[in-house]
Amino acid sequence: MTYNYNKLWKLLIDKGMTKTELRVQAGISTNILAKMGKNESVALESLAKICVALKCTLDEVVEIVSDEAASTSIISLSDEAIQNRQSFQNNYEQLELSFSHNKKNSNKPKVISLFSGAGGLDIGFEQAGFSIAVAVEMDPSCCDTLKTNRPDLPIINGNITDITGTEILSKAGLKPLEAALVIGGPPCQSFSLAGLRKGLEDDRGKLLFEYVRVVRETLPVGFVLENVKGLTNWDSGRALKLLIEELSKPIEFEGKTYVYTITPPKVLNAVDYGVPQYRERLILVGNRKGLTFEYPKPCDEKERKTVWDAIGGLPAPEQPSETALRVAGTIKGRREKFGF
């Protein structure tokens, strides 16, 4: 295969855009542009980024000619070409989705959401003026819920242990240091007072440190971590101490050192903040600006909401659905196996 990018250079001239402007707008490196200047092959993801930035098709950027037929354009009938074309289309659609989502929320601070679930924590941050740039979640059912309610939200459906910070940033259309926050509540069953409390001996408990890894790889301005109250006293607080130590370690990036200032963790009760439920959660907050964070003050006890305040106006319940009955039938076994 030989590659020719003359169409791209002509397109830049027509748009009055320089190569430097293209590099910044598409989020590609100078090395990628240099390879294209030599008519060398580059990653399909880079081509997709260029197409998204220029709002053009692949055929307007590059001509790919097979060695067997110099007259053949990018469309080759080989299996490899078809697969490459499909791979490009997938990359393009994902990047276009991210571009569209971020353009709509361009003036809002961007948030990377980990362990997103159905998006409950995300809603709170959106109400506070942030924009969720990407959601990372392993459960396919939760991802289906996110897609249904937020069709334009970039989502990574996978195990966080297999997902790099670079992948997360790419999906979000961000670079290191650009995210305002990383937020999330790593699985809490390992530390919950209602569970078996295996803590760091449980693979789910170790996911706390995957959260740390993503913070260190993406370098947001700050982070907010939520977990159960039991994290404070598991093994006399060892897990929480290790977590804070890891989050506090210096990070070297492009010749500079970044350190997160950790606000002492605090257990907050949802009932003190307008939620009709006694729900205690540990909150851990940090930032790399050296700023002091103050937890919000609880409401007056007289201002607390009751369950009736929340659901009193709902219509009478219908009979349980087949799904509800099926899930209910698993509760006993789940309790015996996992302790919750």
Distance between CA atoms of residues 59 and 168, nearest Å: 28
> Exactly one of 51, 143, 188, 299 is catalytic; which is it?
188
| H/E run at residue 101 | helix 79-104
CB count within 10 Å of CB 138 equals 19
- What contacts 133, CB < 8 A, 6 or more positions away? 98, 101, 102, 105, 110, 111, 112, 154, 172, 173, 174, 179
Q: What is the CA radius of gyration of the chain?
A: 24
CB-based contact 22:50 (threshold 8 Å):
yes
Distance between CA atoms of residues 328 and 195, nearest Å: 18
Confirm whether 188 is a catalytic residue: yes
**Active site positions, annotated:** 188
